[in-house]
Amino acid sequence: MLSELVPVLELDYINLERIKTFRSTGSKAYARARIWAFPRIWQQALELPPHYVIEVISEKFDYLGDDDKKRVLIHELMHIPKNFSGALVSHRGRYHAINHRTVERRFEEYLKNRV
């Protein structure tokens, strides 16, 4: 789904080769998915460029319909800053918020622009 969402939403700054996906089970978290950063200190220590991990919580994510799965993934992608630095944008970011309304706006954009 990421390889479909990123180009349609014109998230050109996101390098899909440096996003790893992971499905976990048994989490007590309320979240359906999480994004994990790769801090600069780790990048320098391991001599690797920035990467991200998007983890979906199987028990909460798998039962969703495809549209809701895409909404969840859009939410996680919105946490990636435009400089793809390995850091994360907070829900109350300086230049944009990540909330139900902004995710829904991006999802509607996806629906409008998909081929």
Is the pLDDT score of 25 beyond 70?
Answer: yes
Q: Which two tokens stand for residue 98?
A: 């990540």
pLDDT for res 90: 85
As a whole number of angstroms, the distance between CA 78 and CA 96 comes to 9
Per-residue three-class SS string for the chain: CHHHHHHHCCCCCCCHHHEEEEEECCCCCCCCEEEECCCHHHHHHHCCCCCEEEEEEHHHHCCCCHHHHHHHHHHHHCCCCCCCCCCCCCCECCCCECCHHHHHHHHHHHHHHCC
Q: What mean pLDDT value characterizes the chain?
A: 94
As a whole number of angstroms, the distance between CA 50 and CA 88 comes to 11
All structural domains of the chain, each given as residue ranges with its CATH number in brackets, are 2-113 (3.30.2010)
Is the pLDDT score of 115 beyond 80?
Answer: no
User: 114 vs 9, 70, 106, 108, CA distance in Å?
Assistant: 9, 13, 12, 10
Check: pTM over 0.85? Answer yes or no: yes
At 83-112, the pLDDT tens digits run 999 999 888 866 678 999 999 999 999 999
At 38-49, the pLDDT tens digits run 999 999 999 999
Average pLDDT over residues 61-87: 96
pLDDT for res 8: 97
pLDDT for res 28: 84
